[in-house]
Amino acid sequence: MIGGGGTGGHIYPAIAIANAWMAKYPSSEILFVGAEGKMEMQKVPEAGYKIIGLNIAGLQRKLTAENLTFPFKVMGSLKKSWDLINDFKPDIVIGVGGYASGPVLFVAQQKGIPTLIQEQNSYAGITNKLLAKKADAICVAYPGMDRFFPADKIIYTGNPVRKDILSLEGKTDKAMAYFGLQKGKPVVLILGGSLGAKTINESVLQCMSKIEALGYQVLWQAGKFYIEEMARAVKESGLQHIHVHEFITHMDLAYGAADVVISRAGALSVSELSLVGKPVIFIPSPNVAEDHQTKNALAYESQRAALMIADHVAIGSLGRALENLINDKDEVKLLSENIKKLAKPEAALDIVKALEKIMK
C-alpha cells in the first residue's frame, strides 16, 4: 500500500517505486491511497494502479471555516485507513508525503505492519517527521537528513524519476525538430510547473530580448494560468526565437534540447535536473510548506551544483545572471559536472531493495 500525493513531487516518485516493484514482482498487488480531489486521483489510475481517496486536507495557515472541520476529517481518514488496511492486508505500507500518507502510515504502525517513508525534500515534512520514529526505514534524497530522522533508519537513495529522463543520448536532433527549434542555436529551457510560475514568467518577459540578442532561443513552459498573457506578449514583441507553450509533455525531449535550464526547485525537478546534467538556475517558490524549495536549491548551490536566485529579486536580476553564466564557459562546465555528481539514477531500485530487506 502506498499513501500520499497532493503534488507531482509526491505522486511521480510513488508511481516510479510501484513500477520498479512490479517489474521485479509482477504478481504483486499495489493499492494507492490518496486525498479526494487531488491530482493523484487522476494520475495514479492513468499509470495503471488502483487508488482510494480519503477526505483529508491540511490545516490552513489562516483561521478559516475549513480548519474547523480538520479534526473530523482526520478522525474520518483514520477510520477509513483502518478499514482499508484490514481489508487489503498489506505486507508493507509506503508513505511518500502529502495529506493522505499520515493516516495510512499511522494506522499501519499501530497495527505493527512494516512501514517505509520516502522523503523527497532536503527539509522534511511535518507528517514524515512525526511518523519517522516508528518507521522501519526512511529513504531520503539529500545528505544530512539525520537533522530530522533517526540516523540508523536513513537510506540515501535519491528520488525516483520517470524512466524516459534516464536516457537523453541521441535525442537532441529529434527534440529540435519536435519543438520547431533552430539547429545550432543554443536553447534556454524555462520551467515553472504545469500551472505556471508568475515570477519566472515575468522575469523571462523582462529579459527575453536580451536572451535572443545573446544568440540563444527559448523553450518556455508558461503554465495554464499564464499561457495566454505570455503568448500575446511574445507575439507583440516580434521576437523570432521565443517558443512559448502551456505545458511540455515530452520532458525528455525538452531536456535533450536544453543548454541551460531555469526552473523552480521542487523535489522532482531537482532530481530530474541532476540526471540531465545541464547548468541550472533555480528560482525557488516561496509559497510552499516550510519554504522547502529554497532549502532544496541552497543544498545544490552549496555544492556549486546550481545557481540560485531568490524569488523576490528574480525579475530584476535573471537577465544579468543568465548572461554572466552564458559567457562563463568554466562555470557552465563546473555546474554541469557537479550536478551530475548528485544524481541517483538507481533510486527506484534502491528503494525496492530497502522494501525487500524490511519484508524479509
Question: Which residues line the annotated binding site?
Answer: 7-9, 121, 162, 194, 248, 267-272, 293
- The answer to whether 253 and 270 have CB atoms below 8 angstroms apart is no
**Residues tagged in the binding site annotation for UDP-N-acetyl-alpha-D-glucosamine:** 7-9, 121, 162, 194, 248, 267-272, 293
Q: Quick one: how far is CA 260 from the chain centroid?
A: 19
**Beta strands 280-282 and 307-308: pairing type?**
parallel
Give the cell for residue 195.
Answer: 500551472
Pairwise CA distance, residues 107 & 88, whole Å: 13
Q: How far is CA 83 from CA 4, 40, 130, 237, in A?
A: 17, 21, 22, 59
- The answer to whether 253 and 234 have CB atoms below 8 angstroms apart is no
CA nearest 100: which of 36, 195, 171? 36
Q: How far is CA 137 from CA 32, 114, 130, 350, in A?
A: 19, 9, 14, 12
Pairwise CA distance, residues 330 & 110, whole Å: 54
List b or e across 137-151, with b for residues whose CB sees 16 or more CB atoms inside 10 angstroms: bbbbbbeebeebbee
